[in-house]
Structures are given as structure tokens and as C-alpha cells.
Chain A
Amino acid sequence: MNHRIESIRKRRAGAGTSWTGVGSEARCRVASRAEADRPRSAAVASPLCWRRRGIRAALLAFALAVAGSSAIAANPARTPDHDYDAPKPGSYKLPVIKPAADGEVLDAQGRFLRLRELTRGRVTVMSFIYTRCAAAKACPMATGVLMQLHQHSAADPALAKQLRLISMSFDPEGDTPERMAAYSALADGRKPAAEWRFLTTASQARLQPILAAYGQAVNRKDNPNDPTGPLNHTLRVFLVDREGNIRNIYSSGTLDPRLVLADIRTLMMEQNTTAKK
């Protein structure tokens, strides 16, 4: 944690906010303060807390629905889109693609963090998303896969300990920390499970270098009222090893939770072997 973040933490803690609390009220207060730090042009009006409780309820319904529909461990069967058997973890190599880039991000509590701190120390699955996306093969699909991994980790202590999930927004205008906090309800009620962080950025100026470094293409659609959301983007989910190297990149055609899990376990085995040496 760098000095700047620490000073922000102290300043905010001095105002009486609970930073470790996960209750919706705490999130509401903190996120609102984070928004106050944003440039006026980038700010989006915050929803009222009572309204967010409605979002939360809906998200819990979403989570329960996913839990009931396609858990990896309970049903490793093929699907029409993924009509093959997943490989055995450790039976193949995942070459290093490049180092996972750094950048300044905001977590769902409005704290400034370095992305580098969140892509080291654990096997990390990071999904670039925006919460207004309604294209079924894009962000909702990516978040659904992360949720399945999260579910799976809840029943596997070793996985829960070594895995981190990140939902990283590329829409700072829409995805305020408060909205990401509401979105993070997807990870609630499933403990102990892998750490799942919900991140955004304070501005486009903070976001663009991150997108460039990860090769995440995003631009605005001609029709801002497009029913699937206002942004064009490629689907990108990154697998990052404990040393901070990108080891795989998934898109809609390859984002099979069974493959991602096999890859995670391959890296865990690799790292365990390294540790033994």
C-alpha cells in the first residue's frame, strides 16, 4: 500500500467510515465519498441507498440462479458451445505472454489501489467489463464464469487460498465505486471463497493507459441507447500467475469455465512445484 493510499485511508477513517465492513450501508457511505473525489464531468449521480438495496436483491437472485444452473464441479459435462473434455491440469504448458500491467484503480470501497498489488501473490483471473453491458456473450458471460469459479472455490480451501478474481470496469463514468459495490453483491454469501475484487478507475485518464497495456479495445457505439449497452468492446479475461505474468487470454470462444479452472490448477501445480524446489 503506497503512501498516498494510506493517507486517503487515514483521512477517510478519520471521518468515521468502517473500511472493513461489508454491509451495504458502509459501502454506500464510502462509495459516495469516492465519487466526491472524481472530476465533475465524470461524475454520475449516485443512486439512493434504498434503491441499491433493490439492486442487491436482484443480484442475489442472479447469483442463486447461476449457482443452480451451471456449477463446474457438480456438472463438468460438455455444452453445445464447448463440446469437448477439459484437459488434465498440469498436462500442458501455459507460456508467459507478458507482464500484467500496473495502473491506479479504485476498489468498491472507493480506495485507491495499484493494480500491480492485485495481480501478484495469487493466481488471478481478471475480467474487463462494464456493468451496463447486456450482450449475452460479453460481460454477463464473463461475470458468470467468474461466479462459477467463485462458487467452486468455496468448496475447495486450497483454491480459495490461491485464487483471486477481479472484475475490472472500463466504464468509469457509469461504474462508480458505489455501483461496483452493488455489483459485488455477486460475491456475497459465499465464504470462505476466493478473494473477488470489483474495481473501477477515477477517470478516463486513469483508465486509458490500463486498457492500452492490456490491449482491451473499447469505444463508444454510434447509438448510445443500444439495448446491449453503449460501448463497443472485445471480451477479454486474463489469467495471471503469482509472479504477475499473463499466462492466458480468453474471449467468448474460449471462455469455458472448465478450461479456466484447468489453467488455474496448472499454474497452482507449477507454482507448488517451484516452491518445493
Chain B
Amino acid sequence: MQIMKSKSLFSLAGRGVVALATLATFAVTPLRADETCSSPYLARIEGQEEFVYVWTLGVEGLGDGADKLVTLDVKPGSPTYGKVIHTHPLQGRHEAHHGGFTDDRRQLWLSGLESSQIFIYDVYTNPAKPRHVKTIDNFEKITGGAVGPHGVYALPGRVLIPCLSNAKDQGGHTALVEFSNAGDYIATHWLPTKDTPGLEGAEFADGYGYDARVLPRKNVLLTTSFTGLKNYTRPFGELIQDAEAMKQFGNSMVLWNFHTRQPRKAFHVPGAPLEIRWAWGEKNNYAFTATALTSKLWLCYEDKNGEWQAKEIAHIGGEGGVIPVDMSLSADDKTLFVDCFGDGKVRVFDVSNPHQPKQIYEKQIGKQLNMVSQSWDGKRLYFSSSLLARWDKLGDDNEQFVRAYNWNGKELTPTFELDFTALKLGRPHHMLFGSTKVGNSTVAAK
């Protein structure tokens, strides 16, 4: 009988103590696919990515002028490889920025930084043609005043949305917000300030937010800090002339108890630390971040005594700032790609020793550069150009592109590129991988 032949719990039982002793700690080998910076709770793609979803800002007077989700075909051998195969425009412009999948990878949530709307797409029914199914348009009201939803991070049965601002003063004090996968609001957790009782390093806590990512094995959540709505919606050239406004940037990282959602320790990390990249190795208890305004690479790590620390580990670029923005860490934790908006270069660091990174390569990708997404096998990288609608460069420097490259461990070689201005699409921002083949479970606990 088939059910008696299957290697089920019953047959495990027959193996007795040995099998069961391994039950709690048996490690599933992660499927070698997907983006390296995605949530560890996310169901993984099997094999190579087939689609790249590009969350794209609309540009007034260009095409329909609307924010849109653009789907690229990146399936090898496909007749439409490297082409746009689907677009879905929304109504108006919302400052399209980041997004993320639910943990079952059936939905893609995309956030609007300016309108504080969340757009939910079904990417399960037909991954080649994402279908808009719901909009959360009362974010400020239901969250108790959080605005500027930024990333969307998969947690079991829910998503975590780190925000950038608040409705009251549109400054940098903000919150982490949770929704169920069905779109039901769950909770708002405000970032700690110097007045937060019992917080180690409270004097460094400024209440600002940006990224939020979890190391499940250690039950820790790490958050970084950027700036509020009244800054990120202001023209960049004007903003940098305003000394008072330039003081309103985050200078902190906060380590949280993930399960209880309670902040544990604040670190002083000056200059707007942005993306967080936890290492994947089962004993690698550390994460990287880069500070946009001071061009530094930082490491947050657990020391020999089990205490969490943060320290500057490298300068990025030469004299002056290069505005490091997005980063991507290879799945083997050895190579870190750092995009620099200021000079349009990607800088690659050998981080085999995370305390002493060494730059091993750099390449000019464009006149401006923001996001990077890397395949799990480290062989393919996709770059996009736009930072924010009012912060992108002007004139001829305002290139808007998605450019794909292969990485052989030593250099990047181009595979295809798409000019989003010529295609009348807009400003490409976050890129996420899609596929018709999704693994059978979430990746093993880190």
C-alpha cells in the first residue's frame, strides 16, 4: 500500500532513537536558488529565476506617467529573454520603492513611500502576469500614525513593514508594522528613543527606521535608520543646502528581541545606515550595513562573550562620499557587492573575514546606480538606477535602466540591458525574482 511505503513519520518511527534524536536539529540543505538577500522565512525558488519583477516609479510626461509593476523574462533560452513581458500600471504616482513576498510566495506586496499605500499582487496564479488584487489605502489610520512604508519582509504567516516616517511631523521617528498575509493589520512597534526604558545604549536611539531583518537562529531583529518624509520628498539639491534638514537623518541601529518585538540595544552608527545583510552561514552571527552619508561599511556581530557589537570596518570609495546604497551578500558569505549612487559604480568586497573586508573589484554600471539583486548561485546580478523621484540625477546623468551581468568570481560581464526611459516605463527601483517553480517549504532555520 502506497501510504505504508512512503518515508513518512511512521517510517521515521521505525528507525527509533537515532532518527528521532536528529529530528530537532536536522538541517535541510537550502535550495540553491533565489535572491541572497531575501527573508529566511520565504519559500524558495527551485532552480534559476524565471522572472524579475521591477517596481517602477512613474515619470510625469513619460508614457502613462504612472507607477507600475514591470515583469522581465530572464528564463534562459526563452524567445523573450531580457525583455519586458508584462506591465501593470497603477493609478498615479506613489514614490514606488521597495517590496517583498509573503512567506508562501503567493503574494508580492509593493509599497508607496509618499502615498503610504500598499499594493498587493497575486504572483502565484500566473507568475508571468502578476495580478493586482488589493490595495491597503488606510495605512496611516490603522497603524496609528506610521507613514512611509518601506520594505516588506516575510515572516511566518505575516509581513513586517519597516516605515520611514510618521504622520504627525513627517520626520524620522517611525515604526515597524505587521500585517497578516491576508492583509489584516496586526501591530505597530515604534522605534525606540532615548526615553525608552531599559534599553541598553538608549542615548543612541533616535527613533528612525529603514530596514528590518531577522537572524532566526539568534532570535534577533536588526533595524537601521534613514530620514523622514519631509526630507525624502524634497529635491536633493535643495535638501543638501539646508543644514538643519541634513541633521534629520538616522544615526542608529537597533537590535531587538525578535520574538517579543522588544528593543534590546541601540548602537551609534552615524550617517544613515541603510540595507542590512545577515550572513547565511550557520555559525556566522553577523550582519553588514553601509552608511549613505559617510560612505562606511559597518559590521554588527556577536562577540566571544555573546554580546552584540557594532563597528566600522571599511571606507567605501576614495575621497569624498560615494553614497553607498543597496548591497548584496553572496550565499557563501564571502563576497559583498555595494552599489554606490554617487559615482554609479558597484564595489565588490572580499568579506571572508568580516572584520577586515578588502575591495577586490569595481565597475562602472551607469551614471547613477541604486539597487542590486543577486542569484543564490552568485552567477547573475541585476542592477537598477533609481533612488528616489526627487533625488535621482538630472539631465544626461539621469539614466534609468535595468542592467544584467554575469559574475565569474573576478569580473562582471553584461548580458542584457533595458532603457526604461526609451521604453517609456519610468524609474526602475526594487527588483525581485519570480518563478513558476517554488520549493516545498521555507528554507531551514538559520
A238 nearest CB neighbor, chain B only: B157
Q: Which residues of B lie under 8 Å from residue A81 when comparing CB positions?
A: 24-25, 27, 217, 445
Chain A contact residues: over half helix, strand or loop, or mixed?
loop
Instruction: Kindly specify which of A19-27, A150-158, A252-260, A269-277 makes contact with the partner chain.
Output: A252-260
Question: A115 on the interface (CB 8 Å rule)?
Answer: no
A182 to B14, CA, bound (A): 14
A140→B15 CA distance, assembly (Å) = 13
> What 0/1 pattern do residues 142 to 157 of B give for CB contact below 8 A with A?
0000000000000011
Residues of chain B contacted by A231 (CB below 8 angstroms): 440
Hey, which bits of chain A sit against chain B, CB under 8 A? 44-45, 47, 51, 55, 58-59, 61-62, 65-66, 68-70, 79-84, 87, 91-93, 95-98, 131-141, 143-144, 174, 179, 182-183, 215, 217, 221, 226-236, 249-254, 259
One of B13, B181, B217, B441 near A62 (C-beta < 8 A) = B13
Measured in the bound complex, the distance between the Cα atoms of B18 and A61 in whole Å is 11
Task: Determine the interface band of chain B, counting residues with CB < 8 A from chain A.
Answer: 35 or more
Q: Are A65 and B20 in contact (CB under 8 A)?
A: yes
Chain B positions 421 through 446: 1 when the CB is less than 8 Å from some CB of chain A, otherwise 0: 00000000000000000111110111
Cβ–Cβ < 8 Å partners of A58 in chain B: 10-11, 13-14
Contact indicator B180/A80 (Cβ below 8 Å): no
B394 at the interface (CB under 8 A from A): no
Return the contact of B156 from the options A179, A233, A254 (Cβ within 8 A). A254
Residue interface bits B257-286, CB-to-A below 8 A is 1, else 0: 101111000000000000000000010000
Considering only CB atoms, which chain B residue lies closest to A69 in the complex? B21
The answer to whether residues A174 and B43 also contact, given A58-B14, A229-B8 and a CB cut-off of 8 A, is no
Task: Report how far A249 CA is from B179 CA in the complex, Å.
Answer: 12
How far apart sit A141 and B22, CA to CA, in the bound complex (Å)? 10
Not counting A47-B3, A97-B158, A254-B156, a sample of 10 additional A-B residue pairs whose C-beta atoms are within 8 angstroms of each other reads A58-B14, A61-B14, A65-B17, A80-B25, A87-B260, A133-B8, A144-B24, A174-B3, A251-B157, A253-B442
Cα-based distance from A59 to B20 in the complex (angstroms): 11
**B243 lies within 8 A of chain A by Cβ:** no
- Tell me the complex Cα distance, A135–B1, Å: 20
Q: What is the bound-complex CA distance between A83 and B219, given in angstroms?
A: 8
Whether B9 and A131, one on each chain, are in contact in the complex, defined by CB atoms closer than 8 angstroms, is yes
Contact with A along B109-139 (1 / 0, CB 8 A): 0000000000000000000000000000000
For the complex, what is the distance from the CA of A79 to the CA of B216, rounded to whole Å?
12
Contact yes or no, B184 A98, CB < 8 A: yes
Bound complex: CA A83 to CA B445 (Å): 11
Which of B13, B26, B259, B261 has the most chain A CB within a 10 Å cutoff? B13
In the complex, B16 has a CB within 8 A of chain A = yes
Residue B187 at the A interface, CB < 8 A? yes
Asked whether, in the complex, the Cβ of B156 is within 8 Å of the Cβ of A132, the reply is no
Q: Is the CB of A51 within 8 A of B22?
A: no
B85 within 8 A of A: no
In the bound complex, CA of A252 to CA of B39 (Å): 13
* Complex contacts, A234 vs chain B, CB 8 Å: 43, 103-104, 441-442
* Bound Cα distance from A3 to B120, whole angstroms: 41
Write the chain B residue with the least CB distance to A254. Answer: B156
Q: Is the CB of A135 within 8 A of B440?
A: yes
Chain B residue contacts of A236, Cβ below 8 A: 156-157
Listed from nearest, the 7 A-B pairs whose CB atoms lie closest are A249-B157, A62-B13, A65-B20, A92-B260, A251-B156, A136-B26, A253-B216
Q: Which of B43, B260, B439 contacts A91 (CB 8 A)?
A: B260
Complex Cα distance, B220 from A66, in Å, reads 28
User: Could you tell me if A65 and B440 are in contact, using CB atoms closer than 8 angstroms?
Assistant: no
Cross-chain contact A137 with B259 (CB below 8 angstroms): no
The interface bits of chain B over 20-48 (1 if a CB of A lies within 8 angstroms of the residue's CB, else 0) are: 11111111100000000000110100000
Contact present for B438 and A232 (CB under 8 Å): yes
Nearest-neighbour CB distance to chain A for B383, whole angstroms, equals: 30
Contact A228 B7 (CB under 8 A): yes
Q: Which residues of B contact A79 (CB under 8 A)?
A: 24-25
Contact A249 B216 (CB under 8 A): no
The one of A68, A98, A228 that contacts B180, using a Cβ cutoff of 8 Å: A98
A-B contact pairs, 5 of them (CB 8 A): A66-B23, A84-B219, A95-B178, A136-B22, A254-B156
Contact B180 A97 (CB under 8 A): yes
User: Which residues of B lie under 8 Å from residue A82 when comparing CB positions?
Assistant: 217, 219, 445
Residue in B6, B21, B260 whose CB lies within 8 Å of A65: B21
Residues of A within 8 A of B445 (CB): 81-82, 137, 252-254
Given the complex, which residues of A lie within 8 Å of B43, measured CB to CB?
217, 234
> Does chain A have a CB within 8 A of B62?
no
Task: Give Cα distance in the complex from A70 to B446, angstroms.
Answer: 20
Considering only CB atoms, which chain A residue lies closest to B283 in the complex? A80
Give every chain A residue within 8 A of B234 (Cβ-Cβ): none
Given A65-B16, A65-B21, A253-B446, do A47 and B1 touch, yes or no (CB 8 Å)?
Answer: yes
Interface contact B441-A138, CB-CB below 8 Å: yes
B226 CB, min distance to chain A CBs, angstroms: 26
Decide if B9 touches A141 in the complex (CB within 8 Å).
no
B6 to A235, Cβ gap below 8 A? no
Does B12 lie at the interface of the complex (its beta carbon under 8 Å from any beta carbon of A)?
Answer: yes
Nearest CB in chain A: distance from B18 CB, A? 8
* Contact across chains for A215 and B182 when beta carbons are under 8 A apart: yes
List A contacts of B10 (CB < 8 A): 55, 58-59, 131, 182-183
Residues of A contacting B157 with CB < 8 Å? 97, 215, 236, 249, 251
CB pair A253–B41 under 8 Å, yes or no, is yes
Would A132 and B186 be within 8 Å (CB), given that A234-B104, A253-B40, A253-B446 are in contact?
no
B9 to chain A, nearest CB (A): 5
CB of A134 within 8 A of CB of B11, answer: yes
CB distance from A145 to the nearest CB of B (A): 8
Nearest to B19 among chain A residues (CB) is: A65
By the criterion CB–CB under 8 Å, are B216 and A62 in contact?
no
- Pairwise interchain contact A232-B13, C-beta atoms closer than 8 A: no
